[in-house]
Amino acid sequence: MAKISVLGGGTWAIALAVLLSHNGHDVMVWSALPAEIESLKKDHRHRMLPDTILPEDLTFTTDDREAVTGRDLLVMAVASSFTRSTAKRLAPYIADGQRIVDVAKGIEEGTLKTLSEQIRDEIPAADIAVLSGPTHAEEVIKGLPTTIVVAASRQETAEYIQNIFMSEVFRVYTGSDILGVELGGALKNVVALAAGMADGMGYGDNAKAALITRGIAEISRLGLAMGCKAETFYGLTGIGDLIVTCASMHSRNRRAGILMGQGKSMEEAMAEVQQTVEGVYSAKAGLALARKYQVSMPIIEQINLVLFEGKNAKEAVKELMLRDRKAEVSDTEWN
């Protein structure tokens, strides 16, 4: 049995806390929001997951020192926009070599750093890994079969976290391509906004398939330019995560995109979804990375125009369809 603290009180944090508790671990949930912790203590349910009663042995705290001290593993599950500030806040209590696994997805707009890089900035002595894949909290908390990847720079760390999370319904693979895993996880949310917009405008399966396949082409082009492994983008944290996020109504990014495709503003869509829409926060960073590494990412570019410059979604789709003619594969050879 390991002592684990899940840092964050959102749906993904709670789903993982339940999973880890069922795996037999001592699990504590921490949040910076007293009202959130009080609600979890009192109701033993999460407001966005009302059908699940939380295990009685889960404990809850808002105390920073209590959440961190003596814990074998810290699961960083706060929204991506709070990753750096949370790491900085908890850094004084974290021991050298303490294991931290980040389970959120995003890229910091100002620095263009992934979440693990932000944590490393604030807690350089920690042993940091990432856990990512095609996973919806609504299914994981019900014990539905799920597969995921843990990536770390040390094999020992990856295998330790694999063993902590692994169960008969939660299969965990290991890998070393931390950056590739994080890029896939962050940028698929932006493509999912586009897929949602297409749904909201009444476009069909053909458009969805095009967005998924061309979306992974864009993400993998950027990843390769940044030194990631091509196989990462063909796997669970690449095409796998992209498919589930573009196709499922559990996806907050797709749901927000649908509302925008129906004519609502970004702000109106985010308010109606009532959860963090990570793709909005990663869109500008994705475009900045594309320009930095001189990689063509037309879907990411058009989504930025719709989100931040008031471009009509239908015009964005039209522009994507009428781009210059080109071959699908860059090194096509003709007989």
Which of 129, 217, 136 lies closest to 175, judged by CA? 129
Q: Tell me the per-residue pLDDT of 98-115, one tens digit each, with 9 for 90 and over.
A: 999 999 999 999 999 999
Q: Please check whether residues 167 and 204 belong to one and the same domain.
A: no
Q: Which pLDDT score is estimated for 118?
A: 98
Judge if 230 and 125 occupy the same domain: no
Q: What is d(CA 116, CA 178) in angstroms, rounded to the nearest whole number?
A: 8
The mean predicted confidence, pLDDT, of the chain is: 94
210 and 128 part of one domain: no
Asked whether residue 293 falls in the same domain as residue 242, the answer is: yes
Looking at the structure, tell me whether residues 152 and 271 fall in a common domain.
no
229 a catalytic residue: no
Query: What is the distance between the alpha carbons of residues 325 and 9, in angstroms, rounded to a whole number?
Result: 47
Select from 120, 154, 176 the last residue of a domain: 176
Tell me the pLDDT tens digit for each residue of 223-237. 999 999 999 999 999
Beta bridge mates, 5: 28, 74
Domain that includes residue 228, residue range: 179-321
**50 & 92 share domain:** yes
Does residue 79 lie in a domain region? yes
Alpha-carbon distance 236 to 157, whole Å? 20
Which CATH number do you get for residue 197? 1.10.1040.10
Q: Is residue 253 part of a domain?
A: yes
Q: How confident is the model at residue 274 (pLDDT cuts 50, 70, 90)?
A: confident
Same domain for 98 and 190?
no
My answer on whether 314 and 282 are in the same domain is yes
Which pLDDT value is given to residue 226?
Answer: 98
CA distances from 46 to 36, 240, 259, 260, 328 (A): 9, 27, 25, 27, 45
Are 113 and 216 in the same domain?
A: no
Mean pLDDT of 20-35: 97
Average the pLDDT over 316-327 and give the result: 76
How many whole angstroms separate alpha carbon 217 and alpha carbon 93? 42
Does some domain include residue 328? no
Whether 172 and 184 share a structural domain: no
Contacts by residues 155-162 (CB-CB < 8 Å, ≥ 24 positions apart): 157/99, 157/127, 157/129, 158/129, 160/73, 160/99, 161/73, 161/99, 161/101, 161/129, 161/131
Domain boundary among 159, 176, 193: 176
| pLDDT confidence of residue 110 | 92
Residues 152 and 199 in one domain: no
Sign of CA dihedral 214, 220, 223, 224: negative
Higher pLDDT, 298 or 327: 298
Of 125, 145, 176, the residue that ends a domain is: 176
Given a cut of 80, whether residue 335 has pLDDT beyond it is: no
Q: List pLDDT tens digits, range 195-226.
A: 999 999 999 899 889 999 999 999 999 999 99
Q: Is it the case that residue 124 has pLDDT exceeding 80?
A: yes
Q: Decide if 332 is inside a domain.
A: no
Establish if 33 belongs to a structural domain: yes
Pair 217, 165 in one domain: no
Phi and psi dihedrals of 4, rounded to 5?
A: -125, 135
In tens, the pLDDT along 280-295 reads 889 999 999 999 999 9
Structure confidence at residue 28 (pLDDT): 98
Task: Write the CATH number for 31.
Answer: 3.40.50.720
% residues pLDDT > 70 (the chain): 99
Residue 146 within any structural domain of the chain: yes
Query: Which residue in 188, 208, 229, 284 is the catalytic one?
Result: 188
Task: Go through the chain and tell me how many residues it has.
Answer: 335
d(CA 140, CA 331): 41
Q: How many CB atoms lie within 10 A of CB 169?
A: 14
User: Bigger pLDDT: 334 or 291?
Assistant: 291
Q: Is the pLDDT of residue 268 over 80?
A: yes
Tell which wins on pLDDT, 128 or 312: 128
Q: CB under 8 Å to 175, separation ≥6 — which residues? A: 149, 150, 151, 158, 181, 232
Q: How many folded domains does the chain comprise?
A: 2
Is residue 335 assigned to a domain? no
Q: Does some domain include residue 195?
A: yes
